[in-house]
Amino acid sequence: MKNKEYIAKVAEEAGISVEQAQKNLSALTEVMSGILQESNSIVISGFGTFEVKKKNERISVNPVTKKRLLIPPKLVVNFKPTTSTKEKLKEGERHE
Amino acid sequence: MKNKEYIAKVAEEAGISVEQAQKNLSALTEVMSGILQESNSIVISGFGTFEVKKKNERISVNPVTKKRLLIPPKLVVNFKPTTSTKEKLKEGERHE
């Protein structure tokens, strides 16, 4: 689902304008990016935890050419849903 | 960082009450869980994409006891940050 459809749904369910819903979302995601930049994790009650993990640099070897390639270190964002969110996902699966 | 500190920061930066910030966050995450339950992905502009992936059931063998164990299928939520979010994370790393 695209951002636009998501915002429309939030606006409808919360009884607010699309503009307001987009503003709320932007405020929340901007602060979240800022926190992830400094800290390494953030807990969202009833939703899940975002965690930044650093993957170290490593050497990859192409199995065919045997060429060695250095993969640079990178930061990945891990999202771990809460049990309640996981339960919701499972319910959705049952309805399919 | 805990949910409470995050909400306090959002409230401060957006110039709204803590109650309102928590309400906004709950509205957004509830709709998001609902969408992930039905659809399999959701794009948040300027932040990233959430995607639900199904991991099939598999048989795991304990290398010591050689006991075979059936790992049931499960749903995992994958979060892929946008390039802008990734850039922000890298900046944070440089400041450390």
- For tokens 């990178």, the residue is A74
Q: Which of B32, B37, B41 lies at the smallest CB-CB distance from A92?
A: B37
> pLDDT for B40-65, tens place per residue?
899 999 899 999 988 899 999 999 99
Which one-letter DSSP state was computed for residue A40?
Answer: S
C-beta atoms of B86 and A75 within 8 A: yes
Q: Which of A29, A45, A52 lies at the smallest CB-CB distance from B89?
A: A52
Buried/exposed A69-88: b ≥16 CB within 10 Å, e otherwise: eeeeeebebebebbeebbeb
> Is pLDDT of A58 > 90?
yes
B84 three-class SS: helix
User: B44: nearest CA in chain A?
Assistant: A3
C-beta atoms of B29 and A52 within 8 A: no
CA A29 to chain centroid: 10
**Chain B residues 29-68 within an 8 A CB cutoff of chain A:** 29-39, 41-48, 50, 52, 54
The ipTM (two decimal places) reads: 0.78
> Is pLDDT of B39 > 80?
no
Alpha-carbon gap: A60 to the closest alpha carbon of chain B (Å): 22
B18 touches chain A (CB under 8 A): no
Give the model's pLDDT for residue A95.
57
Rounded mean pLDDT, B72-76: 87
